[in-house]
Amino acid sequence: MIYLDNAASTRLDDEVLTAMLPYLKENFGNAQSQHAAGRACANAISAARDKIAALAGCRADEVYFVSGGTEAGNTALKGVCATHKKGHLVLSSIEHASVYESASDMKKLGFDVTFVEPEKDGAVLAENIANAMRADTIFCAVMAANNETGVIQPVEEIGKICRERGVFFYTDCVQTAAYLPMPVRHADGMGFSAHKFYGPKGTGALILKKGSKVFRLISGGMQEMGFRGGTVNTAAIVGMAAAYEKTCLERDKTNAYIKGLRDAFLKRVLSEVEGTRLNGDLNKMLPSLANISFDGCDGENILFLLDLKGICVSTGAACSAGAVSPSDTLISMGCDLKSAKSSIRFSFGKHNTEAEVEEVVGALKFAVQKIRNN
Ligand code: PLP
């Protein structure tokens, strides 16, 4: 199998699994328990929190363990709404569904929401975010990089605008955590998922800067400093800390390697397959992603033909109630319907090789030709 869908999820690192295993076997206690078995887990959780905080550049008591980016986004957005009870939210129109849908839910409860579209290059202008703000704006969300195009957003500038106006700023770092430092100086809230950087699925972190007024989403026991009830998943949290440490330590080397593969692939596809276009500005992109439109093709058909050859990629399209709709992100960047429907997201990771790039380019040429000849 050739896996080019690393933006969806990544393979667990062997070292990460090794770090997790003791907490799935002998150290199986509940971190809340008052005995040795519980203490072993509580100590491991505390060490994981310290490690993640040090690597991210924030305080340990600003790191809350959650189930992933979805819960982080829901908690930040709904938690800010719950403290204010009414007000206006500003979001980019290209937010992940976890943030976008949270805002839609709040709209049903009476909050006002303004969605700000990106430019053609995939980036949201800070100036447009500023213009969308009102006197009653309480919350702003612009993701650190988009999951479909990989375009990095101007988080520093937007953070400054929010700070000046006293607006809580959440930035979804799910796609950037592997590649970029956490923007702790620019945002009030940040979320990420371990499975995007070779850690386990179903675990992530929400970083909330001290002093932020965010009401908790999950009530229960006193876990996570009383902010998020529920027995913590010690093995997954230990795994996430190990994965994040490895990611941060090897970041420069890994980024250069992945970028080399992505750039070689892109150069070949754009020059050797006619009627192809990269969606988004390459100069603003994560090193791992290439979202390409193929004229005269349906993305679903390309995906299907590549899948038959054991190659895993993704379309930007969302499937709801059996109907495939084109990517909202590409449409809001000004991409026409046909072009949006013809797009494929290739996302590279550190386990990919040059030989795989070669094989995928060949398979892609064959697939596109076959579809166009039909
Ligand atoms: N935000 C972004 C940008 C994502 O790409 C994803 C998942 O792909 C999420 C949030 C949700 O993460 P999870 O499914 O791990 O909760």
pLDDT tens digits for 247-305? 999 999 999 999 999 999 999 999 999 999 999 999 999 999 999 999 999 999 999 99
Best mutation site among 5, 67, 96, 328 for ligand 1, i.e. most ligand atoms within 8 A of its Cβ? 96
Question: 324 pLDDT exceeds 80?
Answer: no
Q: 96 CB less than 6 Å from ligand 1?
A: yes
Question: 322 pLDDT exceeds 90?
Answer: no
Q: 95 CB less than 6 Å from ligand 1?
A: no
Average pLDDT of the segment spanning 87-114: 98
DSSP string, 292-352: EEETT--HHHHHHHHHHTTEE-EES-EEETTEEE--HHHHHTT--HHHHHTEEEEE--TT-
Average pLDDT, the chain: 97
**223 vs 215: CA distance, rounded Å:** 15
| Closest to 259 measured CA to CA, from 280, 284, 289, 283 | 289
**H-helix segments, 136-186:** 155-165
Side-chain-side CA neighbours of residue 38 (13 Å) = 8
Q: 78 CB less than 6 Å from ligand 1?
A: no
Distance 72 CA to ligand 1 centre (A): 9
Cβ atoms < 10 Å from Cβ of 275: 12
Q: Which residue has the tokens 């295993």?
A: 21
pTM of the full structure:
0.97
Best mutation site among 193, 198, 314, 347 for ligand 1, i.e. most ligand atoms within 8 A of its Cβ? 193
Distance 371 CA to ligand 1 centre (A): 31
Confidence band of 314 (pLDDT split at 50, 70, 90): very high
pLDDT of amino acid 326: 87
Question: 321 pLDDT exceeds 80?
Answer: no
Give all strands of the β-sheet with 112-116 in edge-to-edge order. 63-66, 204-208, 189-193, 168-172, 137-141, 88-92, 112-116
Q: 74 CB less than 6 Å from ligand 1?
A: no
For the annotated catalytic residues, the residue numbers are: 319
Which tokens hold the place of 246? 């490895």
